[in-house]
Structure 1
Amino acid sequence: MDTLHQWFDHWLLGVDNGIMSKPRADVQVGPAQWITQRDWPARGAMRVPLRPSADGSLGLLPARRGATAAFTDVRMPETEMVADVGTAKPGRLAFTTGALPLDLRLSGTPVVDLRLALDRPTANLTALLVDFGDDTRLDWRRGQGITTLAEEDCHGESTAADDGCYRKVATNLATRPLEIVARGWLDVQNRDSLSSPSPLTPGAFTQVEWETLPHDYVFKKGHRLALVIAGTDSTYSGERATGAAVTVDLARSKVTVPFALSAPLAEVPTGPSTWRGPQEVELPTPEHAFH
């Protein structure tokens, strides 16, 4: 609130209070943890390519040449996409790291880069970056993460038009075994342009890249980071699935994640292919309206 008032004082009243030289970003990195930094995303964040392998692992090393994995573009909710990771499903692929040896803070926009072939001219694709590990996290699915309370905080003097008081808020929390951290979608034929489709030649491999939504999030030590690739996301899309068979060239595919690191990441342990995630996942449908 102090920052907001300084900003209004500067731009509305012309007060030279130095607000424009202060850090531009306050970043929430945990349910009750905020940091202030010069800009966002974190400056100097290292773009780390994580690569999928045929055994279901995700790490720094590419898969062997010629390794592929396949799924079919069907309509699935995200709860089904991230359930029972470690078990093969015809409608999704899932790749998981081992238990992380340190906290890893994502700051920015993960980018998915797949070499793939379809048996049809297009497919709908979904990419999810998932944090596996029991934890109490910010529950953004309810009220954009906050509940507005009846109690007020007052700042400064009041006038007849404005009493200078604001309703307090409480952070919404939820304890779950996982969180979908970043998500992104692509209609393959519109990979280069939203208005000019470029259908693929069935059976021919093509490099396809798309961004997920940006985020700032800490994957905690001991948790596992997963990449899930699937077809049509029924949680967010009303589109029909294409039914296309999607074959991914694992050796030439990756997800690049911007991590705020003090030194290059030397190792991301690959998870054993026998690891299984939660068999059933309950993730309430997000409230899309703003409050």
Structure 2
Amino acid sequence: MSTPASRALLAPLAALLLAATAPAHSQTAPTDSAARVSRPGEYSGYSPRLYTESVRQSIYFRTRDGVRLAMDITRPAVNGKAVDTPYPVLWQHAVARRIAPDQRFSAVRQMPELAQYGYVVVEVDRRGAGSSFGTRRGYHDRTEARDAYDVTEWLAAQPWSTGKVGVYGCSNTGDAALHVATRMPPALKAIFAGCFSWSKYDGFLRGGIFANWGAGVERTFDEDLKNPPVDGDESRTLLRQAAEEHRDNTPLAALWRGMPYRDSWSDLVGSRFWLEGSAGTYRDAIARSKVALYVFGGWYDDFRREGLVAYANLPGNPRKLMIGPWLHCRNPDFALLAEAHRFFDHWLKGVDNGVMREPPYTYHVVNAVPAQAWRQSAVWPPAGTRPQAWTLDTRARAGAVSDLALTTQAPARQAPGATLTVTAPIACPAGWNPQAPACAQTANGLRFDGPALARDTELTGHPLLDLWVRVTDPEQNVYAYLEDVAPDGTSTQVTDGRLKVSLRAMHKPPYDFLGLPWHRSLESDAQPVLDDQPVRLQFDLLPLSHLFKAGHRWRLVVTGSDPRERQPATAGARLSVLSDAAHPSRLTLPVTTPAGTP
């Protein structure tokens, strides 16, 4: 199970993984070991296609409090009839089964294809969503987690089930997959989830700023009526009744906007919901479940740090992690379904395909030649990574704030600050996409350029920014973008970071935060900035793995507004970057020398 594109992308991993993935014996594998392939993006010879057909049945599942949840059940079939042979069950806690346009290229969308390999695949609309009844109180609240426990155990008890269950999802359904484990259903054995939040506050209000390209799934009454009805409701009578109940759903944008701090109380849901809705709050329960976890994400996704943090905080759970050159829940040139297949085969069918003997981290180096782009590592950041500090030089080389520098020299004893007047951000016409030139904020900020690189240089890990600023807005939002600048001057955004100046206070994190700066962001931590008071901001930029080519340079852009911002910046405010002996501003980059590189 692979695509020509994924085979080309992953060819360099073949030799690396050959020894690690060759099993000593597998009862389900063919005897000809040469016919077996199991490595990232490729899987064949271990799990034969058993059926050429599958059938889908939709029903209403009744929860313990009587709410009816719409459920699609896809089973292997022969001559149009579902087989009686029991198989493991894979299921997703969805918001609109069969309607997920943002996931049309993802393994999540393709998962029902695994029915032909001997799985039952189930999609369940969460209460208050899709064709299900009920109302959504929160977004991944404890009621949804309780529903997920009931669904998991019911699926395990069906005659067409072996009793072993896996959960999958991406984005909001990736969050939902982790929340299943927080209730520790005995039948749950494995989770395949991507692009989710470990901490909802850090995922949705990263840096204390409500600036995300998405705020959660909201649909109108008319949109709800477009959901597929369950079998037997061809008149859509039940679907209409369910949609009527959805009118009382908690509005998510209002929920997020009403909780500016990590400990904010929401009257809309009657809890401190950033904590209630975070999978990380229930870390101990997920750890006790011992469920196997496969995390996947993309270098162009806002939640990629969240996946790495989740991985780090579950050391006792069997784990794997993959990050590719992908947008949110989209992997059109990679057979991610093959990854899900071999992972679930191992944990739900006992197939000895070597998936768990590989190094746990698999990642793609953006811009690297195809033969060297995919890497694997036992640790994160990978061995050979060292921090390299760059001083922000605020003395304009050509007398303009758009012509500043990054230097390896110590900051000057005295230097003028570089000042920016905050304006509206440069809009992204087609929605936030860091790859799109139209979304770049280069012309809207202070630009600090490094020298042209003498050789190809890889950055893999977490850039850190230690920034001294003066602001006139006591609640100023500060954004930083790292760009790859070509010799002809064109630039590509690589990663970004952000922090609200009033939430700059640093604290020790309550869990493994990868050694990165952590801001507790409680209401009591808020410290609005007095006019012209120098303040120090320490924050990370989202992780990256990017090869800067010889002749290119890296550029840091510092701004006071962002196109994802849901609460517009104060136009006309002034943001000054300071960098002198008393206020040393530095960018630290994770320079990586892969093993075997001269």
User: Shorter-chain-normalised TM-score: which range?
Assistant: 0.5 to 0.7
Q: Distance in 1 between matches of 2:544 and 2:492?
A: 13
Question: Larger strand proportion, structure 1 or 2?
Answer: 1
Match of 1:47 among 387, 404, 408: 387
Aligned to 2:344: 8
Give the C-alpha shift of residue 40 in structure 1. Answer: 3.6
Match of 1:25 among 354, 358, 361: 361
Q: Distance in 1 between matches of 2:410 and 2:391?
A: 5
Aligned to 1:257: 589
CA contact (8 A) 2:504 2:536 kept: no
1:74/1:62 CA distance change after superposition, 3 Å: farther
User: Secondary structure of 1:232's partner?
Assistant: coil
Match of 1:125 among 455, 478, 488: 478
1:166-207 deviation per Cα after TM superposition (whole angstroms, max 9, x unaligned): xxxxxxxxxx93210011122211223434222112221111
Aligned to 1:204: 533
Give the C-alpha shift of residue 41 in structure 1. Answer: 2.6
Aligned to 2:421: 72
1:121/1:30 CA distance change after superposition, 3 Å: closer
Taking the TM superposition and a 5 Å limit, the aligned residue runs for 1:184-203 are 184-192=497-505, 193-196=520-523, 197-203=526-532
Aligned to 1:155: none
1:37/1:262 CA distance change after superposition, 3 Å: closer
CA contact (8 A) 1:73 1:124 kept: no
User: Secondary structure of 1:57's partner?
Assistant: strand
Task: Give me the TM-score of the superposition, normalised by structure 1.
Answer: 0.66
Give the C-alpha shift of residue 219 in structure 1. Answer: 0.7
Give 5+ residue unaligned stretches, structure 1. 84-90, 136-175, 264-291
Which moved further from structure 2: 14-23 or 63-72? 14-23
Aligned to 1:114: 467
Match of 2:407 among 55, 59, 70: 59
Give the C-alpha shift of residue 72 in structure 1. Answer: 2.2
Give the C-alpha shift of residue 126 in structure 1. Answer: 1.0
1:80/1:39 CA distance change after superposition, 3 Å: closer
Q: Distance in 2 between matches of 1:249 and 1:116?
A: 6
User: Secondary structure of 2:356's partner?
Assistant: helix
Q: Distance in 1 between matches of 2:548 and 2:414?
A: 31
Which moved further from structure 2: 104-113 or 63-72? 63-72
Size of the alignment, in residue pairs? 215
Residue identity matched to 1:57: A
Q: Distance in 2 between matches of 1:261 and 1:122?
A: 40
Match of 1:228 among 552, 557, 571: 557
Question: Larger helix proportion, structure 1 or 2?
Answer: 2
Q: Distance in 2 between matches of 1:186 and 1:124?
A: 6
User: Secondary structure of 1:19's partner?
Assistant: coil
Aligned to 1:278: none
Aligned to 2:496: 183
1:9-31 deviation per Cα after TM superposition (whole angstroms, max 9, x unaligned): 32112344543231122222246
Q: Distance in 2 between matches of 1:256 and 1:74?
A: 27
Q: Distance in 1 between matches of 2:579 and 2:457?
A: 24
Give the C-alpha shift of residue 262 in structure 1. Answer: 6.6
Task: Give me the TM-score of the superposition, normalised by structure 2.
Answer: 0.34
CA contact (8 A) 1:106 1:216 kept: yes
Aligned to 1:35: 375
Identity of matched residues, %: 31
Q: Distance in 1 between matches of 2:497 and 2:449?
A: 18
User: Secondary structure of 1:7's partner?
Assistant: helix
1:22/1:79 CA distance change after superposition, 3 Å: closer
Residue identity matched to 2:392: P
Residue identity matched to 1:41: P
CA contact (8 A) 1:109 1:214 kept: yes
Give the C-alpha shift of residue 132 in structure 1. Answer: 0.6
Give the C-alpha shift of residue 232 in structure 1. Answer: 0.7
Give the C-alpha shift of residue 6 in structure 1. Answer: 4.0
Which moved further from structure 2: 177-186 or 14-23? 14-23
Aligned to 1:274: none
1:18/1:188 CA distance change after superposition, 3 Å: same
CA contact (8 A) 1:73 1:125 kept: no
Residue identity matched to 1:257: L
Residue identity matched to 1:82: T
1:230-289 deviation per Cα after TM superposition (whole angstroms, max 9, x unaligned): 11112x2132212332222213101111111379xxxxxxxxxxxxxxxxxxxxxxxxxx
User: Secondary structure of 1:189's partner?
Assistant: helix
Give the C-alpha shift of residue 128 in structure 1. Answer: 0.6
Q: Distance in 2 between matches of 1:230 and 1:114?
A: 12
Q: Distance in 1 between matches of 2:364 and 2:440?
A: 28
Give 5+ residue unaligned stretches, structure 2. 3-37, 40-338, 398-403, 427-437, 506-519
Q: Distance in 2 between matches of 1:92 and 1:17?
A: 50
Across the aligned residues of Structure 1 and Structure 2, the Cα RMSD in angstroms comes to 2.5
Higher Rg of the two aligned structures: 2
CA contact (8 A) 2:359 2:376 kept: yes
Which moved further from structure 2: 198-207 or 237-246? 237-246
Q: Distance in 2 between matches of 1:57 and 1:199?
A: 29
